[in-house]
Chain A
Amino acid sequence: MKSRWYTQANVYSGLLLVVLFTLAPFYWMCVSSIRPEATIFSSRLNLLPKPFTSVNYSLLFIKTEFLRWFFNSCFVSLTSTALALFFSSLAGFAFAKYTFYGKNVLFTLVLLTLSIPQFVTIIPVFQAMIALGFIDTYWALILPYSINPVAIFFMRQYINGIPSELLDYARIDGCSEFQIYWRIILPVIKPAIGATGIIIFLGSWNQYFWPLIMTRSQEMMVVPTGLASLKSEVLVEWGMLMAGSVMSTLPILVLFLICQKQFVSGLMAGSIKG
């Protein structure tokens, strides 16, 4: 494309404007979290946090159950991600490298459910959780996210690409089938595990609808439901709320910075709620 200097200038200024709008709310969240409550709303536009303080964070940790919620989110998300990865890689391995009764029927069934949104299952699952006494426990939070039909699909695709000779050599060497999975398949599909794991973790970390229904008490809330509960109709402490929002976003940002490649490839491959 012929790039005249004014076209370039226009493009760059347009892009910078886009970045400005993109980062502005994020900036506002961060800035509001370190401002004293009284200065969050003022008649004049205050862009810089002139008096800044950490009181919102300390209030958040002391006055609310935020630390417990944070722990809950970590525990629930990590566990359900680990379970989902384990189940789907194992099953994906079976679908990719074995033949067995009902394999095609089963896989078609999985594909069909891909097109059915998960909220359709919520009422029966809710009733089952009540019957099992799992409501308001970690089970109700972990289980719904420990199964991911999309993950199976990806795993199978990826494992299909592994030459079967590798497995035969391992068998000749005396490996059991599970050892083949553990020692050969898993290391080879690390990229797929990383990318899929990040999508599942992200989805679980940000979940609101399901935890809202599956938990009742303050102690069992996860970060999204907990933060939302801080926003009452009457008196809202915005500084605290923004501090909580920053804490909620921080792990994801850290994940983004540390494993950028996995993160981006996961986002590209999967469907993020949006």
Chain B
Amino acid sequence: MSANKLSRSSWRWKQAAAPYLFISPFLIMFAALWVIPILSSVYMSFTTGIEPSTFVGLRNYSRLLSDPYFRIALVNTLLSAVVYVCVLTVMAVILALILDLSFLLGRWFFRSAILVPITMSLVVTALVFRLIYTTSSGVANQLLSLLRIPSVDWLGDPGIALWAIVLMRLWRASGYYALLTLAGLQNIPKDFIEAASIDGASYFESIRYVVLPLLRPVIAFVVVTSMIWALQLFDEVWVLTRGGPGSATTTLVTYLYQNAFLFFKFGYAAAVSYVLTMIIMLFSFLQLKLFEEK
């Protein structure tokens, strides 16, 4: 009897302690790798970050405002991100609509084919496109010459380099986002569309007035997620041009990298990282608001 009572109370104790034990590995890692670093880098952005580190208040931030390189990085990042997201969303929606067409055969083939680019890492994509973009004898220029168009200095021309990279990104991500949109599209009950066509709406009219509004949440997701990643452009730029020519392809994250790990100006870099974070959060918030209004 007493043995049973003992085991039951120890059993209850174990049950009460269990959640704390289950949480603790995650909690420790989360605190060490996320919470503490986030707070620490906020503090760091108010210091010089270089040994000996002194508190300098908002000096890093005010320096950023008057830093021409920061401004270039900011403009490059914002411009490329906005264009990228707009074109990406349009392409994703169009592709999804086409793939959703009822008469389409071989859907599996098309869906698999457009997923191939996303399996290539950013670095691999950059390397392959570096090959394609080679000025003198790269495939891109060879194709252009077939069409009697003059060669383009894809990565060497300061006016073009950033857009060559955006094009590369569009190539890589369109299929993936198209499939995301397609999934959302297929969740729309067909009755709505049927009702519209019974009412005499043409295909394009029903798309415009019925499907697109219903697709709003999915499009919002595409816009917000692609924007978040677009603003963090680094890998491709660093592999291809290191931010050049000049600072034509410098983005906020490449600027952050240069300041932190080439110049060791940790405090300044931390400030850059927080400005970018605030931009990301601002954009996400605005975009969600934009897509929320009924």
Contacts and interface: CB of A to CB of B under 8 A. Distances in A.
Interface string A33-44: 000000011111
B127 A245 contact: yes
Contact of A224 (B123, B136, B169): B123
B143 A45 contact: yes
A153 B132 CA distance: 41
A238 B25 CA distance: 44
Is the interface on chain B under 10, 10 to 19, 20 to 34, or 35 or more residues? 35 or more
B120 A22 contact: no
Given A25-B171, A28-B132, A177 B37 contact: no
B99 to A, nearest CB: 8
Contacts of B20: 94, 100
Contact of A25 (B104, B128, B146, B277): B128
B131 A238 contact: yes
Interface string B1-30: 000000000000011001110110111011
A26 B35 contact: no
Given A11-B101, A45-B146, A206 B26 contact: no
A126 to B, nearest CB: 8
Interface in B249-294: 253, 256-257, 260-261, 266, 269-270, 273-274, 276-277, 280-281, 284
With most chain B CB atoms within 10 A of its CB, the pick from A8, A91, A242 is A91
B102 interface: yes
Given A25-B132, A45-B143, A121-B37, A181 B121 contact: no
A272 B175 CA distance: 12
B171 A21 contact: yes
B79 interface: no
Interface stretch (B54-62, B63-71, B111-119, B150-158): B111-119
B116 to A, nearest CB: 5
Contact of A245 (B124, B226, B253): B124
Interface string B133-170: 01011110011001000000000000000000000010
Contacts of A42: 137
A253 B98 contact: no
B223 interface: no
Interface stretch (A12-20, A53-61, A188-196): A12-20
Main secondary structure of the interface of B (DSSP, over half): helix
A120 B273 CA distance: 6
B171 to A, nearest CB: 7
A50 interface: no
Contacts of A122: 37, 260, 273
A234 to B, nearest CB: 14
A242 B124 CA distance: 8
B145 to A, nearest CB: 9
Contacts of A208: 121-123, 234-235, 238-239
With most chain B CB atoms within 10 A of its CB, the pick from A122, A123, A212, A268 is A123
A15 B104 CA distance: 10
Contacts of B32: 128
B173 A274 contact: yes
B117 A119 contact: no
Contacts of A99: 19
A212 to B, nearest CB: 8
A86 B103 CA distance: 44
Contacts of B36: 124
A119 B14 contact: no
Smallest CB-CB A-B distances: 6 pairs: A206-B121, A121-B37, A177-B18, A98-B19, A91-B26, A274-B173
Interface of B: 14-15, 18-20, 22-23, 25-27, 29-30, 32-38, 40-41, 44, 49, 95, 98-99, 101-104, 110, 113-125, 127-132, 134, 136-139, 142-143, 146, 169, 171-177, 179-180, 183, 203, 225-226, 228-229, 232, 234-235, 238-239, 253, 256-257, 260-261, 266, 269-270, 273-274, 276-277, 280-281, 284
Given A26-B116, A119-B232, A124-B36, 4 more contacts: A91-B23, A128-B37, A228-B238, A253-B116
Interface of A: 1-3, 8, 11, 14-15, 18-19, 21-23, 25-26, 28-29, 32, 40-45, 86-88, 90-91, 93-95, 98-100, 103, 106, 109-110, 113, 115-117, 119-128, 143-144, 146-147, 149, 152, 171, 176-178, 181, 205-206, 208-209, 212-213, 224-225, 227-228, 231, 238, 241-242, 245, 248-249, 252-253, 256, 264, 267-268, 271-274
